[in-house]
Chain A
Amino acid sequence: MEQKSVKRRKKDLSFLERIYIPEILKGLSLTFKNMIRPKFTIEYPEERFIPSAAYRGRPVLIEENNGDERCVACGLCSRVCPALAIEVQAAETEREQERYPEKFEINMLRCIFCGFCEEVCPEEAIVMSKDYDLTFSNREEAIYGKDKLLVPVNQLQDRIDFLRKYK
């Protein structure tokens, strides 16, 4: 097969076009223009980004004011989870709601933050919080138990208001 290069070089550029200086100046003028524009970025670890109420961050369980969990361990969240990240074990209790989760674990390595658990929950007991920078140093640490998942209800009020308004 005869080798051929498809590329054709333009030979009819004018002198100004050939030295490319006008093009470089055009590019640089934009650079200088942007120096005086307002900054678009934020300096993340020092300056934190605060998401709106719509934000779907780490899923958390609601802890009532008396320290009990609102969850009744029906297991719907665990069944609807597309990533199979939630494990619930129910137990009986003397309280009014009769059942509570003895064990509630979310594997944060599996969680895809889709929000189906929050959507399906009949008790509004699991909601998406605003936490977004989750870090772990090993796989065991990434399995969040009830100790990490329970968050007092007053810290999640704006998300609950948002859900009531838009769902």
Chain B
Amino acid sequence: MALKTEEMVLNMGPQHPSTHGVLRLELVIEGEIIKNVTPHIGYLHRCFEKHCEVMTYPQIIPYTDRMDYLASMCNEFGYVVAVERLMGIEVPERVEYIRVIMAELQRIASHLVAIGTYGADIGAFTPFLFCFRDREKILNLFEITCGARLLYNYIWIGGVMHDLHPDFIRLTKEFIKEFRPNLKELNDLLTFNQIFIDRTANVGILPAETAINYGITGPNLRASGVNWDLRINDPYSIYDRFDFKIPVGKGENGTVGDCWNRYYMRILEMEESLKIVEQAINQIPDGDVSSAIPKRVKPPAGQIYSRVENPRGELGYFIVSDGSVNPTRIKVRAPSFVNMVVFGELCKGHMVADVVAILGSIDIVLGEIDR
């Protein structure tokens, strides 16, 4: 039996480099051991859902960018799919392919930030720079296509803003060729590094049952050994046409569902995303990209819940329309927000230093938690 000490409350954040934004964690600790964690959120609240009620449907797209700002394309994609289903719009083939290519490139970029900052959180700074270098190449691709590097406003209801740059296909192929060896380098440097494995394996174990009970989605759920991906289980857009696997956590270096597994899922997912991008750019048909964009976006009265697989999990939009140009209500099911709930459970019994490792492995974006 360890020595009993008095309980102490330790505030971590909101200005803390490892809380990935303005998040305050109230840690109840007994010596080094964590007894309880209460996350305090809301520092970045911008009233997204309320604000949507006074805006027209297309005007909301730039605001969806600003939720999960590391995966703007995927946010737009989810919103646009929801509105299109509500209005019954069929988009041209080429648009579907462009959207899938963009979403998958964005997934790679987002995972690169996730694993880069995760390395930096627990003391490996070099992979961080390498990840950002590779992400930069993806951002360059986005920039020549839609003119922005972070907040794109590219995917519109019924189409995309404008067609691909003539060099886009060539540059994407070049990127894939360059990125594969870099990914291997990253594996050598960080993933299978014994120091990194010792630091993350068997830390913050999330059993599959707990993950399902808490509603965890995305790589965090798959790391616990549950095979669930909306791209396969509830296909939207044209994901059913591509051949790719869903990586599932096996606990190679520890227990299924530990921090290392959650980290490793993102590496594997990047490889799968590369496969999808490769197939999509080889199959992309010619055609018009703006023919299905409606002049006035005025969905019929009704409601819809539509979900897509974001880099962080299931992103759902619940839209209620009364037949006017403004939505009556928009509710967002943000994956980071739901994934954050299990955080306290994971931290119990660990050391204070492990909080950072566990938080980084859940990969939250505060812009999405607070909206």
Contact = CB atoms under 8 A, between A and B. Distances in A.
Is the pairing of A and B real?
yes
Contacts of A23: 193-195
Interface stretch (A3-11, A61-69, A98-106, A145-153): A3-11
B303 interface: no
Given A5-B349, A54-B145, A167-B162, 15 more contacts: A7-B202, A7-B203, A17-B194, A20-B195, A30-B185, A52-B144, A54-B144, A54-B162, A55-B143, A82-B55, A82-B62, A82-B63, A116-B153, A166-B163, A167-B290
Interface in A1-57: 2-10, 13, 17, 20, 23, 26-27, 30-31, 40, 51-52, 54-56
Nearest to A54: B147
DSSP class of A's interface residues: helix, strand, loop or mixed?
Answer: loop
Contacts of A116: 58-59, 62, 153
B162 A8 contact: no
B18 to A, nearest CB: 19
Interface of A: 2-10, 13, 17, 20, 23, 26-27, 30-31, 40, 51-52, 54-56, 80, 82-83, 112-116, 119, 128, 166-167
A37 B351 CA distance: 40
B3 to A, nearest CB: 10
A166 B126 CA distance: 40
Interface of B: 1-2, 30, 33, 35, 55, 58-63, 126, 133, 136, 143-148, 151, 153, 161-163, 165, 185, 188-189, 193-195, 198, 202-205, 290, 349-351, 354
A82 B61 CA distance: 9
**7 A-B pairs with the lowest CB-CB distances in the bound complex, closest first:** A166-B162, A56-B147, A82-B59, A114-B62, A54-B147, A114-B153, A55-B147
A56 B162 contact: no
A3 B350 CA distance: 10
Given A4-B349, A7-B202, A8-B202, A51 B143 contact: yes
Contact of B189 (A27, A80, A112, A115): A27
A5 B351 contact: yes
B288 to A, nearest CB: 12
B292 to A, nearest CB: 15
Contacts of B165: 52, 54
Contacts, number: 91
A54 B205 contact: no
A80 B59 contact: yes
Contacts of B60: 82
Nearest to A82: B59
A6 B185 CA distance: 31
Nearest to A28: B126
Given A5-B33, A52-B143, A112-B151, A30 B126 contact: yes
A7 B355 CA distance: 13
Given A27-B126, A54-B165, A7 B147 contact: no
A52 B149 CA distance: 12
A115 B350 contact: no
A26 B143 contact: no
A31 B124 CA distance: 13
A115 B147 contact: yes
Contacts of B351: 5, 7
A128 B147 contact: yes
A115 B161 CA distance: 10
A9 B351 CA distance: 13
Contacts of B151: 112-114
A3 B2 contact: yes
Nearest to A81: B59
Given A54-B144, A115-B147, A116-B59, A6 B349 contact: yes
21 contacts: A5-B350, A6-B202, A6-B203, A6-B350, A23-B195, A27-B193, A30-B188, A30-B189, A51-B143, A54-B143, A55-B147, A56-B147, A82-B55, A82-B59, A83-B62, A113-B151, A115-B153, A116-B59, A116-B62, A167-B162, A167-B290
A7 B193 contact: no
B275 to A, nearest CB: 26
Nearest to A30: B189
Nearest to A2: B1
A11 B29 CA distance: 27
A7 B2 contact: no
Nearest to A5: B349
B259 to A, nearest CB: 11
Nearest to B205: A6
B190 to A, nearest CB: 9
Contacts of B55: 82
A6 B61 CA distance: 44
Contacts of A2: 1
Contacts of A56: 146-148
Nearest to A4: B349
Nearest to B132: A40
Contacts of A26: 188-189, 193
